[in-house]
Structure 1
Amino acid sequence: MSHSQPPSTAPHGGRRTAARRSRLNLTVVLAVVLPVLSAGVLLLVRPEAPDDATYPPTRTTLTASTLICPSALPGAPGVALTTASDDVDGQVQVGLGDKATAADLVSGRVTSADDAGALAVVGEDDAAPGLVAGRAGGDDAAVASCLPPAAVRWFTGVGAGASHRSVLELTNPDAGTAVADVTVLGADGVVDAPGLRGVSVAGGSSVRIDLAALVPRTDELALEVVAARGRIGATVRDRIDRVGTDPLTQDWLPGQEEPSTDNVLLGLAPGSGRRTLTVANPGTDEVRAQLRIIDTESVFAPDGVDEIRVPPQSVVRVPVTSVVDQAVAQDAIGLTLTSTAPVTASVRSMVGGDLSVATAGTRFDTDATVLLPEAPDSGRQAATRQVVLAQATTAGTVQVVARAADGSTLKEKLVEVVPDRGAVVAVPAATRMLTVQPARTSVIGSVVTSAKGGASVLPLTVPVVNGLVPHVRPGLP
């Protein structure tokens, strides 16, 4: 008898199990690989990260320009005017509000207008770019440039006492009311001066604040003037009146744009006298500063001058008479103050009964143009005028062009400048308009005028020739 073997199911069951395993493995692979591939594709097509969202403003043709001039000193009501632009033959408005009058403005010439009060010089269209204006001190050896309104300006070394007192002048060139906040720093920190917070200046007017009447003190002070609303032109007149000794002498105290770790004070009155360095620290930490002398050969630390320490939000007064007098006798042209944190500084000179002040200058790499007072009368000792330059960033050249009031060239000289060395260019006493043109470098400079009546220091500044339009673009959601 034969028996038939029943068909075995094992081989078929094994094939089904393998198929299931194959399908399972493929599913797992796809579940893992597909997301990875998708992520890779997304990385390939993802847009690049956006660049810095801030963009510099665009330069455009200047169609309106405003300069603020301080009140005149006795005996000199005039305001000198010119333009650094070519082919201008027009007029500007001089004054404030309804009292403004027209004055001529011609390229290459110095014109004038009489107004003894604080005022604005307004140029429009062709008269706007390169507008330059300034005041002279008359009987006082003093000079000041008229500058555009500023959002913030510092004044260091002001006084509020009986013998040294300063007057802060705030000018509003516009029709609406402007508001200024003034912070006062003293030897012991921030000075409580509620009367200087929220100072209102009506449109087309100026406000004068005698600091000795508002915050009487004997220490040296520093002011931070902030335009909280509107436009404000701030100036300071500094006075020294030592009862029973020297007669009253006064000068304008130039402002400083912002605190710096490298303050360059150019312009030291020749001769011997009292010299006072004032340093203000607006920060919240103590600052250490080192004083050095600048001459035409080098920049060096003088002997006998210790490191200067300035407490937080305070002002220190440093007598530097012997050091500076000795340096001036050896043809020094200025001081530099290097500090561990930003400070403001000035050096006040009382020489021959006359006051002059040098403050931290502003670096420039394009043409600077300033106006100088008329030469003293022939009955007085002839004035000497020097352009002092320092702190060149690289080796380069500077062209100095001195012109008379009628535009005729009195002197033109090309001088080489290098880092860590000053330069001096003498210009004729009759110079009324001075232009300084750096090439391949940037410098800081001043003009020092000295005569029998005293000395004055005028920082070199660059006229505004272009407007700035902010970059505006839609924001991302």
Structure 2
Amino acid sequence: MTSTPRRRAHSLLAVVVPALVAGLLIVAASFVPAQQPTARVVDAGPTVQTRACAFTGAPGALVASGAEVETTLLDGQVIDDPSVNGAVTGSVVLRAAGEQPLTAGVRSQSSAGLMWAECRPPATTGSLLLPDPATAEVVLVNPDRTDAGVNITLSGATGQIQSPGLRGIVVPAGSMVRVPISVHAPAGAPVTATYQASQGRVQAAVRSLTTAPEQAVATAPKRVAVFAAVPTRPTGARLLLHNPGGERAEVTIELLGPRGRFAPANGTASLAPHTTVAIDLGAAFTERDMGLVVTGSSEVLSMLTTQGANDIAWMLPDEAATDLMDAVPEGTLQVVNPSPDEASVTMVQVHPDGTADAPQTLTIPAGASGQFPVVAGQVRITSTAPIAAAVRVAGTGQAVSRVRPPAGVVVPQPGTMDPQLAQ
């Protein structure tokens, strides 16, 4: 039978219309946005602060500022009550949750002398001042769970000392490594040891090898450095200085005390770039309750060393500030006022159980010092003018514990997970 034109048109429409409708549906669908996965907020977890004490002295007791502080030896063994005398027998790691700054130190008393060892956060770089490579060594503590690699460079009286043997030092996770410096630098003169971690991080200290125990942590360069306290009437004193910059540094030394601010003999020094020197202050500290100010034309590193009848002390400076907070041992808290204005100083003692004594207030004239008795715990100091503070540690021998400005705590912030990363 022959098709008519009308029948052929109906057949064509039967094929074309469904195809056209399907095409339109596809085009329309392309204009509908696809449903996107919802972004998720990821909890960063609690703030955990870590401090390490490169402690190598006689058994001692820990003083810490945080209420919930876990203290372990490097092998992970927990010390139940580290505040008991003799409880700390080696390097320790402290961890505390929360945003309150964690400060701590270890007080050690033996027949050989008295020592205070600061606990500090591990870092990737820092500098240590050694009074004499023949009688001091570098100690590196790795509190983390991964190995650390460290390179050390030395600087002496004439500049950098070539010491290829101090590169690529491996500090295994949860361990301490002692690094002798005597084979790399001449005896009798101070050197600066600057460390840089190629991987991981460490807490570093310089340790005395003499019978008198002493150690000091890494320090940072400052243009104005204040030593708030020294042992009472030491028989000798030396100021170690290092110029880390590329230009000559001119340094002025001044004493603070009951009769104000004045210059001692040997009160100036000129440091060539990258050199380390010692300034003999002799018997400059003949009076009680004295401090020291070091002012440079550029930033310099400094450490004060003193000798007594049977002990030594190494002291690090800090910058003057109007707000100080630190863990301290029992002793005499000395506050010095290096500013040109009178300072009204308020001190609050916080005990290990969290209770606080009533505030004590003292007015300190410009260039002078004032004292408060303190027990082991934490002190908080506020002042109307920039001041510095340190504790002459109670005991038999010489030791000083500085009181530093409160360090900022890095608080983890919640993050947002990009949903596209999971596709």
TM-score range, shorter chain: 0.7 to 0.9
Task: Give, in whole Å, the separation in 2 of the partners of 1:426 and 1:320.
Answer: 27
1:339 aligns with 2:334: no
Q: What's the counterpart of residue 270 of structure 2?
A: 309
Q: CA deviation at 1:93?
A: 4.3
Q: CA deviation at 1:334?
A: 1.4
Task: Give, in whole Å, the separation in 2 of the partners of 1:209 and 1:120.
Answer: 20
Task: Give, in whole Å, the separation in 2 of the partners of 1:158 and 1:342.
Answer: 20
The answer to whether the 8 A contact 1:393-1:442 is kept is no
Say which SS state the counterpart of residue 467 (structure 1) adopts: coil
Q: What's the counterpart of residue 371 of structure 1?
A: 328
Matches within 5 A, 1:341-420: 341-372=298-329, 385-392=332-339, 396-402=343-349, 412-417=359-364, 420=366
The answer to whether the 8 A contact 1:152-1:224 is kept is yes
Q: What's the counterpart of residue 281 of structure 1?
A: 243
Q: What's the counterpart of residue 318 of structure 1?
A: 279
Question: CA 1:260–1:131 in 2, change beyond 3 Å: closer, same or farther?
Answer: closer
Unmatched segments (≥5 aa) in structure 1:
1-59, 242-247, 374-383, 473-477
Task: Specify which of 126, 137, 155 is matched with residue 128 of structure 2.
Answer: 155
Q: CA deviation at 1:456?
A: 0.8
Q: What's the counterpart of residue 269 of structure 1?
A: 231
Task: Give, in whole Å, the separation in 1 of the partners of 2:228 and 2:69.
Answer: 34
1:226 aligns with 2:196: yes
Select the structure of larger CA radius of gyration: 1
Say which SS state the counterpart of residue 208 (structure 1) adopts: strand
Matches within 5 A, 1:104-143: 114-124=87-97, 126=98, 129-139=100-110, 140-143=113-116
Which digits, 9 at most, give the CA deviation of each residue in 1:258-277, with x for residues without a partner? 21221222322212412112
Say which SS state the counterpart of residue 366 (structure 1) adopts: strand
Q: CA deviation at 1:425?
A: 1.5
Q: CA deviation at 1:317?
A: 1.5
The answer to whether the 8 A contact 1:273-1:350 is kept is yes
Q: What's the counterpart of residue 455 of structure 1?
A: 398
The answer to whether the 8 A contact 1:222-1:315 is kept is yes
Which digits, 9 at most, give the CA deviation of each residue in 1:233-272, with x for residues without a partner? 1112124x4xxxxxx212122432x212212223222124
Say which SS state the counterpart of residue 195 (structure 1) adopts: helix
Q: CA deviation at 1:200?
A: 1.7
Between the two proteins, what is the percent identity of the paired residues?
18
Of 400-409 and 168-177, deviating more is 400-409
Higher-helix-fraction structure: 1
Cα RMSD of the aligned pairs, angstroms, is: 3.2
The answer to whether the 8 A contact 2:138-2:181 is kept is yes
Task: Specify which of 214, 217, 229 is matched with residue 251 of structure 1.
Answer: 214
Amino acid at match of 2:107: A
Which digits, 9 at most, give the CA deviation of each residue in 1:159-209, with x for residues without a partner? 212xxx112111111111112222211112111112222322111112111
Question: CA 1:62–1:399 in 2, change beyond 3 Å: closer, same or farther?
Answer: farther
Say which SS state the counterpart of residue 300 (structure 1) adopts: coil
Matches within 5 A, 1:30-45: none
Q: Normalising by structure 1, report the TM-score.
A: 0.69
Question: CA 1:93–1:438 in 2, change beyond 3 Å: closer, same or farther?
Answer: same
Say which SS state the counterpart of residue 103 (structure 2) adopts: strand
Which digits, 9 at most, give the CA deviation of each residue in 1:48-102, with x for residues without a partner? xxxxxxxxxxxx996101001122412x24433341xxxx5x45242225x2326
The answer to whether the 8 A contact 1:390-1:444 is kept is yes
> What is the number of equivalent residue pairs in this alignment?
371
Q: Normalising by structure 2, report the TM-score.
A: 0.77
1:421 aligns with 2:370: no
Task: Give, in whole Å, the separation in 2 of the partners of 1:313 and 1:369.
Answer: 32
The answer to whether the 8 A contact 2:336-2:369 is kept is yes
The answer to whether the 8 A contact 1:400-1:434 is kept is no
Q: What's the counterpart of residue 100 of structure 1?
A: 77
Task: Give, in whole Å, the separation in 1 of the partners of 2:408 and 2:165.
Answer: 37
Task: Give, in whole Å, the separation in 2 of the partners of 1:321 and 1:61.
Answer: 53
Question: CA 1:386–1:182 in 2, change beyond 3 Å: closer, same or farther?
Answer: same
Question: CA 1:360–1:228 in 2, change beyond 3 Å: closer, same or farther?
Answer: farther
Q: CA deviation at 1:111?
A: 6.8
Question: CA 1:117–1:154 in 2, change beyond 3 Å: closer, same or farther?
Answer: same
Task: Give, in whole Å, the separation in 2 of the partners of 1:410 and 1:442.
Answer: 23
